Amino acid sequence: MVEPTFDKDLELTKLQIAAEDCHSEVEINSPMYVTVAVAMLALAFSMKMDIVIFLMFLGILATMFCLAVRTSRRYNDGIRKLNGHIEDFKAGKPLPPLTTLCGIKEKKE
């Protein structure tokens, strides 16, 4: 079996792309969740509402909170995986393909 060659620049580029992919999800989604939650709270305080609308607002806020927690957990898992890949890089081992590093599922043909 042929051992894959270790191209330091290519492996560093893979790590950089994977790190940016991991960070971009938090950078994009977190402000969106906070914006929706603040908008919902502002709307709730600016109008008269009955119990059904109040419960609907609470449901939406709970959903935004759950999505924010999920995004945070995925970010933490991504950082842990990147840390393992950095250790592999230090050891001179080639990294997996970008689709694996970024968690992209392969297309079935």
Nearest Cα residue to 61 out of 85, 33, 87, 42: 33
| Extents of the domains making up the chain | 8-91
* Helix/strand/coil for 1: coil
The distance from CA 97 to its chain's CA centroid, rounded to whole angstroms, is 19
Widest CA span in the chain:
72
1-10, 12-21, 44-53, 95-104: least confident range = 1-10
88-103 pLDDT per residue, tens: 888 888 888 888 887 7
pLDDT at 2 over 70: no
Do residues 74 and 27 make contact, with C-beta atoms less than 8 angstroms apart? no
